[in-house]
Amino acid sequence: MYRKFFLIIFLFIFITECSKKEVISNKPPDDKESYKIYEEALAAMDKGDFFFAANKFSEAEKILPIVEHSAKALLMSSFCFYTINFHEEAISSLENFLRKYPADENVQYASYLIILSNYEQILDEKKDLDPLLKTKNLIEDYIKKYPDTDYTMDLKFKLDLIQNQLAAKQIYIAKYYIQTQKWIPAINRLKVIINDYEETIFIEEALHRLVEVYYNLGLIVEAEKTAKILGYNYNSSQWYENSYSLLNKDYKKEQKKLEKKSKKEDRGLVRKTIDKILNK
């Protein structure tokens, strides 16, 4: 009898608890409602309200009935975040797009937007190297994966700019070491530029700074060798002239004599021309 009593009590509690639970509907979302949300997102984007549009596109993506339309909505959401410089949100959304829709026709574009979102966060050459290196790696991977796209052409140009910024960072650090007379770290930084960034605009300055460091250390032979490399490759460069004047103390005197001689010749030529005009 007690067993029946306890069984009845147990069943009563179980039924009561089940009735408290939220009823989960298996009814799919209304197709018309999902496209209405998508249209609201488009309208907001047209008005320039990109933040609202991004959230609406994201809402639509979750309930649109066709997978291609869902993919498009998520990509549009990412684009809206990118447009208003919400770079971290854009990157997160784009990475989500690549995970959920790896076979979508816009995968290349999504990957390109991820790189742009990283690229536009790069700081000046006095700051941290990590964002530059990360973006550089992303671009190099993209170029290998998609070598023949319009996006690749743009990224190659941006890669050159990044290389110059990386070299600028190295030269900035090297100059700091030179100012504090930390010669060995300075040499190491300058050699990084010479070995890794020889196609950048900073290669000439790096070679000259290396001449300076060797000269200050009394390593005249090394300084002259480096100056010859600079002269062989960039003999019309101001940096080569600086190196040459450093190693040749009479250079400035010779330059002044040549300048005086040149001025006299110029004045003579001017005067001769005037005389010809007057004698006509």
For residue range 107-141, what is the model confidence (pLDDT) as tens digits?
Answer: 999 999 999 999 998 865 456 778 888 999 999 99
Say whether domain 31-106 belongs to CATH 1.25.40: yes
The whole model's pTM is what? 0.69
User: What pLDDT is attached to residue 69?
Assistant: 93
Q: How far apart are CA 69 and CA 78, in angstroms?
A: 14
For residue range 26-42, what is the model confidence (pLDDT) as tens digits?
Answer: 334 567 888 999 999 99
- For 16, counting Cβ atoms within 10 Å of its Cβ (0-12 exposed, 13-18 middle, 19+ buried), the class is exposed
Q: Is 240 left (phi over 0), alpha (psi -120 to 50) or beta?
A: alpha
Nearest CA to 44 out of 63, 59, 29 is that of 59
Tally of CB atoms within 10 A around 19: 8
For residue range 47-72, what is the model confidence (pLDDT) as tens digits?
Answer: 999 999 999 999 999 999 999 999 99
